[in-house]
Amino acid sequence: MTDLLNEIQEKAFLGREFLTWLLLGAMKSGPQFNIKGVGAFELQFDRTIVLEGEDTGARRVTLAGSTVSIAPEVLAALRSGKLVSRARLRFLWDDSTWDVTLNGATFDFSGVRVPVPNVPEVEELFILRLRELEKFLKFFTALFHHFLALRLDGGRWKATLKEFEELAVWENAAP
């Protein structure tokens, strides 16, 4: 049991790296993503981003605002080795828009808003909400699986990090 708990804690960084990978992807190429196995979607970092170093706590940075993902403080925090530990995200995929706050360490979801039509019948509304939630979770799982395929492949991950480093150099050179 202790081994399992250690494993859960030791691999929690994967969730933070996943969120950071999404953020850097959006900074590099804009909000439009097109990912094999997931499809085309738009991702907006909406309102709040929390960044933390590996030793959490005092080194936490919380940024809020409508243009938070392009704030210079975000790049500065990333350059200092911090990763995104929590973020408010808006995904637009197919004909759905999902708003969600994701905790990278646990993958607990909060404040999830799903699009449902206005229906008067409570049970019908419940079913529509749950189906839309499951649609989001299926999309989210495919996205995380794509990240894992990249992350657990040493060569591909190295190439991805190199691309992000180029982003940092480019941002540094920007007037």
Phi then psi dihedrals of residue 89, to 5 deg: -120, 150
> Of the candidates 139, 125, 53, 51, which has an alpha carbon nearest to the alpha carbon of residue 90?
139
Which CB, 39 or 79, lies closer to another protein?
79
The C-alpha atoms of residue 106 and residue 138 are separated, in whole angstroms, by 17
Shortest distance, CB of residue 10 to another protein, whole angstroms?
8
Which CB, 94 or 165, lies closer to another protein?
165
- The end-to-end CA distance of the chain, in Å, is 53
Interaction mask 11-40, another protein, x per CB under 8 A: xxxxx-xx-xx--x----------------
Q: Does 89 bind another protein (CB under 8 A)?
A: no
Instruction: Map the footprint of another protein across residues 103-132, applying CB under 8 A.
Output: 103-114, 122-123, 125-127, 129-130
Per the document, the length of the chain is: 175
**In Å, what is the CA distance from 16 to each residue of 23, 52, 105, 117, 132?**
11, 9, 6, 33, 25
User: What region, left, alpha or beta, does residue 94 occupy, with left being phi > 0 and alpha being psi -120 to 50 degrees?
Assistant: left
Instruction: Map the footprint of another protein across residues 129-158, applying CB under 8 A.
Output: 129-130, 133-134, 137, 141, 144-145, 148-149, 151-153, 157
Which residues contribute to the site for another protein (CB under 8 A)? 7-8, 10-15, 17-18, 20-21, 24, 54, 75, 78-83, 99, 103-114, 122-123, 125-127, 129-130, 133-134, 137, 141, 144-145, 148-149, 151-153, 157, 161, 164-165, 167-168
